[in-house]
Structures are given as C-alpha cells and as structure tokens.
Amino acid sequence: MTHVPNRFTRSHALYERAMRSIAGGVNSGIRKMESPVPLYFTHGNGCRLYDVDENEYIDFQIGQGALFFGHAPAGMADAIADQARRGVHFAAQCELEIEVAERLQQMIPSAQRVRFNSSATEVVLAAFRLARAQTNRRLILKFEGHYHGWGDEGLVGFAPPESAWGPDEAPTHLHPSAGVIPEVLDQFVVARWNDPDHLRRRVSQFRGKLAAIVCEPCLCNTSCIEPVPEMLAAIREACDREGALMIADETITGFRFGAAGAQGYYGVSPDLTILGKAIGGGMPFAALVGLENVFSGITNGTVVHAGTLNANPLCLAGSKWCLDQIIKRSELHPSESSTLGKRLMQGLQILAEQNAIPLVPQGPGVVFHTTMLKPGAVQGPILDYRDSVRRHDAPRWAHLRRCLLEHGVRAIERGLWFMSLAHTPADIDDTLSRASLAFTQHATQWKIA
Ligand SMILES: Cc1ncc(COP(=O)(O)O)c(C=O)c1O
C-alpha cells in the first residue's frame, strides 16, 4: 500500500481565519512553532490524535506532557462529567480537595502541606513568594535553560541568545520578553546546570542573600538533561548551608517519574515542589506542596495566596482519577513507560544510523529529547544549556520533525518526546514504521537542500 503523507489544507484555512480574531492566531506563543502550520484537532483517543484534515497522529506531544493518561480516558471523562452535573465551580470548599491533597501526601513524602492553583506558572509565583517571606531574603538562584512558566519571574535567564550569555562563571539574567519591569531581573542569580563546583562558587558569591534555589530536577525543557549524580545533593547541601529553600519544579517530572516524582526517582527531598501537567491529566490544575513549616506564611495568612478557580471541582475530579491510576500501578510505574520509551529511543537511533542522520536521543525514557547534532559536533551526552545550543541543529531537527508529522508521528517542536500511560508496545512498533518513512524522506530532502 502506498503511503500518502498527511496534508494540512483545512488547518491552513482555519489558521488564516483565526489570524483575523485571535492575536497572532494562537493562544500560547509556542503553538506558532508547529510547522508547516498550527494544527486544528477534532478529537483524540489514547495516544492517537486526529486533525481537521482527518490525519491521524501517534501523539508524543500529548498536551505538552499534561495528557499523561492519554487523550480522553473514559474513566476521567466520567469523573469530570459526574462532577459537572453536581456543580462546575463553587469557589468554596468541597471534600474532593481534601481527597486529592491526601493522595499527594500519600505519594510524595515532602508533601506535608498542599495548595492548589490552575497553572504551574501561578504555583511558581506562590513558591517564590513563600520562599522570600520565609527567609526574609529576595534573591532566587535558577539555572540556565530551566523553564518555570511564563510569568515575569519564572522566565529570567531561561534561554538567552548566545551573544548575551555572559561569562561561564556569571551567566546573564536576561528576560526573553519585552514589557518586564527591569528590576525583576535583579531579583535573580543564574547559574549553569550540572556543574556542582560552579554552583558552590555562585552560591558563596551571594552568601546570606539567597531565598531559594529552584530547578527542574531533570532538565526536560532543554535537551532532557538528567542531573549528574552529585548535582541535586549539591543543591540540597547549598540550601541547608545557606538557610535557603530548595524548590523542585516537577511540573513535567511529577507523577511521570513515579508516584513521588523526580524527587523519589533521584532521592532528594526539596522544601517546596511545583506540580502541574500530569496532576490534572489535561485539566487546568496545579499544586504547590512542601514542608509544613515552609507553608507557615500561607497558614498564618501573612503570605497572600488566592485564585477564583483554585481547587475547582472539575479539576479535582479529574485529578483524583489521574492520581488513582498512578497509585494503582504501584511499582510498575515508571518502569513500564520508561522501558517502552527506551525502546522507542533505541529504534529512532537505529533508523538515524541507517539513514546517516546525526540524531541522538537522550533522557530517562518516560520523556526524552532527540538532539540533531550540528555538522562536526562531538558525540556524547548534552550536559547543559550552552552545550545544547552549541551542538543541537534546530533547523535540521525542524525538518525531520515536519517529515515525522507528515507520516503521522507528532513529536514536540523543540525535540522533546513525552511517553504516556496510553502508549502501548504496538503503538511504538507503529511509530517506528512511520518514522522509517519519515527518516528516509528527511535524508533525501535534506541532502538536496
Ligand atoms: C518545568 C515547568 N515549570 C512550569 C511550567 C509552567 O506551566 P504552565 O504552562 O501550566 O503554567 C512549565 C510548562 O511547561 C514547565 O515545563
């Protein structure tokens, strides 16, 4: 049977129409990156996703990682629908919020106390505020390439252009957005990831001034870079020595890396943890969890934490169902998804070698990144943000990603692939046979280009 590559005619037409009402045509800047056009979807089921042109995708973007339980799981849909019939929103208490909070306590040892919000961006804001109140200090140390939401504070130092990196010992604290109050930048110190000695030196430069150190325990937002063995311990030690709080941003790793997230997976205990994405399974839901004493500002009312839609009952019903899936899997999780993810990584690597494409997957399997090496770039794992910029050939990856899309495999524009609990071994086989066609197409077209 001849394979007809996907076409995107109706998505093109809808995008043109959207440009006349929605600013820039999309509702989150990153969605513009989808090439050849931001796609419009009709429905999804498990790991399969269908667009308005009736193309089918095996989805590894999976709601930017939020759909850890796949598209439209029936049990979750029922839980949300049942709740919707009893009340969509109370802006007051319901027993469900205690049930979800208790599940978090059961799953994450550092979750002695919990507060809910609607997005991880908001939770980041709450975590920074709490840390400053608790320590009576203003500076927060963050790492280059780590993403902590789109708020003014979360984005400082995220992905500076190479021309403005600053010295290795003192990375710049640029903000990628216009319209940010310049003084916000001065509330942050930026360090490079995966260099514990550099971190210790950076911390000692700001002795007595750091309120917190925040990190993605596995740097999923840049090349899916796992921490070198001593990195998380070095952060914990620096925080203990300095009287600063350790904040783990587990928006991606939470539940994906196991019931206790990356902190359980790598064996570290943060003071505060930011949870998003999988906790809501696609519902707008997020949580701040942490040690009881660290929450004292919120408990005693000196730190403001609010939100009309916080602990929304529909989100709680969805989340309770999601968390129960993780609890039920017990020790099978994350090993099952990691094994499947590793099989996909290996299959992609073999296809890349067969087609002489310099593509190298890296990551723990349950999430991973495919780095397209620039001509002449050395082999070996990517270790930090600068390394990633120096070696990842973004335009060439974008071309391969587009070929994959045309053959019905949807990876993330930045090179990230999310596994979900809905991906099966048969889906991975199907992905690899589609990818085989895409890799051949890329190899042929890229040579000509
Ligand atoms: C590590 C991390 N923190 C925070 C956020 C912000 O989450 P949200 O988009 O739900 O506000 C993200 C989003 O991708 C993230 O990856």
Give me the tens of pLDDT residue by residue for the chain, a chain 449 residues long.
456 788 999 999 999 999 999 999 999 999 999 999 999 999 999 999 999 999 999 999 999 999 999 999 999 999 999 999 999 999 999 999 999 999 999 999 999 999 999 999 999 999 999 999 999 999 999 999 999 999 999 999 999 999 999 999 999 999 999 999 999 999 999 999 999 999 999 999 999 999 999 999 999 999 999 999 999 999 999 999 999 999 999 999 999 999 999 999 999 999 999 999 999 999 999 999 999 999 999 999 999 999 999 999 999 999 999 999 999 999 899 999 999 999 999 999 999 999 999 999 999 999 999 999 999 999 999 999 999 999 999 999 999 999 999 999 999 999 999 999 999 999 999 999 999 999 999 999 997 76
Task: Classify strands 139-143 and 245-249 as parallel, antiparallel or unpaired.
Answer: unpaired
Task: Check whether the bond before 36 is cis (ω within 30° of 0).
Answer: yes
Query: What local confidence, expressed as pLDDT, does residue 436 receive?
Result: 98
Query: What local confidence, expressed as pLDDT, does residue 3 receive?
Result: 67
Say how many residues make up the chain. Answer: 449
Q: How far is the CA of 275 from the centre of ligand 1 (A)?
A: 9
Q: How far is the CA of 259 from the centre of ligand 1 (A)?
A: 19
Task: Check whether the bond before 361 is cis (ω within 30° of 0).
Answer: no
Distance CA 428, CA 348 (A): 10
Q: How far is the CA of 385 from the centre of ligand 1 (A)?
A: 18
242, 29 contact by CB (below 8 A): no
Predicted confidence (pLDDT) per residue in 314-366, tens digit: 999 999 999 999 999 998 999 999 999 999 999 999 999 999 999 999 999 99
The number of the ligand 1 atom at minimal distance from the alpha carbon of 124 is: 4
Q: For helices 231-242 and 196-205, give the axis angle rounded to 10 degrees.
A: 20
250, 80 contact by CB (below 8 A): no
Beta partners for 45? 48
* Beta-carbon contacts of residue 272 (< 8 Å; ≥ 6 apart): 127, 130, 131, 212, 245, 246, 247, 248, 288, 289, 290, 291, 294
Burial class (CB within 10 angstroms; exposed 0-12, middle 13-18, buried 19+) of 18: middle
Ligand 1 and 251: CB distance under 6 A: yes
Phi then psi dihedrals of residue 140, to 5 deg: -120, 130
Burial class (CB within 10 angstroms; exposed 0-12, middle 13-18, buried 19+) of 255: buried
Query: What local confidence, expressed as pLDDT, does residue 5 receive?
Result: 82
Distance CA 123, CA 22 (A): 27
Write out the H or E segment, with its range, that includes residue 205.
Answer: helix 196-205
283, 30 contact by CB (below 8 A): no
Q: Which CATH class is domain 9-72+334-448?
A: alpha beta
Going by alpha carbons, the residue nearest to atom 8 of ligand 1 is 120
Going by alpha carbons, the residue nearest to atom 5 of ligand 1 is 149
Buried b (16+ CB within 10 A) or exposed e, 163-200: eebeeeebbbbbbeeeeeeeeebebbbbbbbbbbebbe
CATH 3.90.1150.10 segments of the chain: 9-72+334-448
Going by alpha carbons, the residue nearest to atom 13 of ligand 1 is 149
Ligand 1 and 387: CB distance under 6 A: no
Q: What is the DSSP letter of 255?
A: B
Quick one: CATH architecture of 74-331?
Answer: 3-Layer(aba) Sandwich (3.40)
Ligand 1 and 61: CB distance under 6 A: no
360, 393 contact by CB (below 8 A): no
Looking up tokens 């796949």 gives 70
SS3 of residue 74 by DSSP: helix
Query: What local confidence, expressed as pLDDT, does residue 447 receive?
Result: 78
Two structure tokens written together for 308: 């009309």
pTM: 0.97
Ligand 1 and 118: CB distance under 6 A: no
Distance CA 92, CA 311 (A): 8
Query: What local confidence, expressed as pLDDT, does residue 449 receive?
Result: 65
Ligand 1 and 148: CB distance under 6 A: yes
Predicted confidence (pLDDT) per residue in 26-48, tens digit: 999 999 999 999 999 999 999 99
* Angle at the Cα of 396 from the Cα atoms of 253 and 353, rounded to 5 degrees: 80
Task: Classify strands 245-249 and 272-275 as parallel, antiparallel or unpaired.
Answer: parallel
Q: How far is the CA of 286 from the centre of ligand 1 (A)?
A: 10
Distance CA 190, CA 185 (A): 10
CATH 3.40.640.10 segments of the chain: 74-331
